[in-house]
Structure 1
């Protein structure tokens, strides 16, 4: 069986349709279709089911895909070993990080990584999207989630805790929330997901409570949210790392500290696809970031 034909099958199924596979491989759609037909003829069975939008593997097609994926990964690893032999570590890592955590916590880590491995290209996207998280242009993603997707490998980077907080001036003039239900009526500054009802989960020992929220100021930009809290515009409900320096200096004060608060999830996770080949650059990056996370004070 032709190894090139097997890897072509992998690329077709990864792309999802013949047109996208042709675009990625810089071949014509007709050429892609011809080679697929030839492979099916040599096997004597149908390998993919074609619809108007997608191609899906048959049972035999899925088995061949798994074999082809392993072969493709081994070939990639072999090429990498040859090209990097006697050279400094090189490669490219495409990374998606949350806007707030990425800027406030991870940025120094990423800069430190570049100082250690100048030959590795870091392509960093600061974004908060969860849908279609591990699309083709992303090797590694970092997200705060309560339960990571089952189809991804998830490495725990630590606990994320939210705090209810305000500027010292706001606290002295307007007061701080004393009960969870106070969050319903006070001017609230926080992030939200478009199209979803915002709610905070609050844990007291083994008890779980939930409060629906109606913020007066919403943004995905946590630096902006911090500015709004410092300006005395309301009660902030943000991850503790967003305001930790200001809390330490006494500029921002917190309340409801006996509660463990969460909006989007309780843990930060590093995510990647289980069947995607790990280049040396990607494996090195993952180990580096996890080591940094274990040494960081996130909670």
Structure 2
């Protein structure tokens, strides 16, 4: 079997259509289409189904794609090992992290990594879209969720504890929610998904409760949410790392502490595509971050 043709198939399926594959490969669309047709003819099998906008792999096409990705990864790893022999680590790591966790927790880890590996370029985005992995925009995404997508590799970075909290001045003036249902009428400060009704899941021993929420302040930027909480605008529902230092200083107090609360998920995961070639820089970054999470008491021990 022609390895070059197999690699071409991988590029086409990754790109999603012939035009995008041609752009990535710096070939004409007609040339990409011709080589794909020749590969299919040599096998006597249809490998992709073409529409005006997309290509979708057939069952055999998907199997070949998986083999092709593994082969391409091995070739790229071998090539990198030869080209970087005796050199310090270089390359680029494209990373997407949540705004709050990324800035409040991971920033120190990212700076430490850069100091240890000055030859590696860190390209960091602060946002919350998982789809970037599928579009090849990032190598790694860090996300809060209950269950990671089955089509991605998920490395556990530890639990996320949500807290109901408010500034000490707000609590002294208005009091704190005494039960879950008090959250329905309290002025809430939290994050939400546009177009989706916000629900709080709450667990107490074997009990599970769910409360519909109507926040008064909503943002995906957890640094802004922290400022709103400190300003006394209401009761915040945020991960504990957002207000950890404020609670320790006594500027923020918590309520409903016996309950385990969750809005978007209870775990932090590092996510990346399976069978995608990891450069030495990316592989080193993954293990460094997992080790930092473990040392901080958040994640599981690193594993190869």
- In 1, Cα distance between equivalents of 2:133 and 2:236: 27
- In 2, Cα distance between equivalents of 1:176 and 1:65: 56
| CA apart distance, 1:284 | 0.8
SS in 1 for 2:155: strand
- In 1, Cα distance between equivalents of 2:59 and 2:237: 49
Say yes or no: does 1:60 pair with 2:43: no
CA RMSD of aligned residues (A): 1.4
8 Å CA contact retained: 2:166, 2:230: yes
8 Å CA contact retained: 2:146, 2:267: yes
| CA apart distance, 1:298 | 5.2
SS in 1 for 2:67: helix
| Equivalent position of 1:180 in the other structure | 180
| Equivalent position of 1:105 in the other structure | 105
| CA apart distance, 1:132 | 5.4
Say yes or no: does 1:150 pair with 2:134: no
| Equivalent position of 1:34 in the other structure | 34
| Equivalent position of 1:89 in the other structure | 89
| CA apart distance, 1:64 | 2.6
- In 2, Cα distance between equivalents of 1:121 and 1:113: 11
TM-score (structure 2 length as normaliser): 0.95
Would you say how many aligned residue pairs link Structure 1 and Structure 2?
299
1:126-165 to structure 2, matched below 5 A, reads: 126-131=126-131, 133-165=133-165
Deviation readout 1:115-170 (Å, 9 max, x if unpaired)? 11111111111001244554311111100000110111111111101111111111
- In 1, Cα distance between equivalents of 2:230 and 2:224: 10
8 Å CA contact retained: 1:134, 1:272: no
Deviation readout 1:154-204 (Å, 9 max, x if unpaired)? 111111011111111111111111111111111111111111111111111
Deviation readout 1:258-295 (Å, 9 max, x if unpaired)? 11111100000111111211221111111111111112
8 Å CA contact retained: 1:134, 1:140: no
| Equivalent position of 1:211 in the other structure | 211
Name stretches of at least 5 consecutive residues in structure 1 with no aligned partner.
none
Deviation readout 1:4-41 (Å, 9 max, x if unpaired)? 11111110111111011011111110111111122222
Name stretches of at least 5 consecutive residues in structure 2 with no aligned partner.
300-304
Say yes or no: does 1:199 pair with 2:216: no
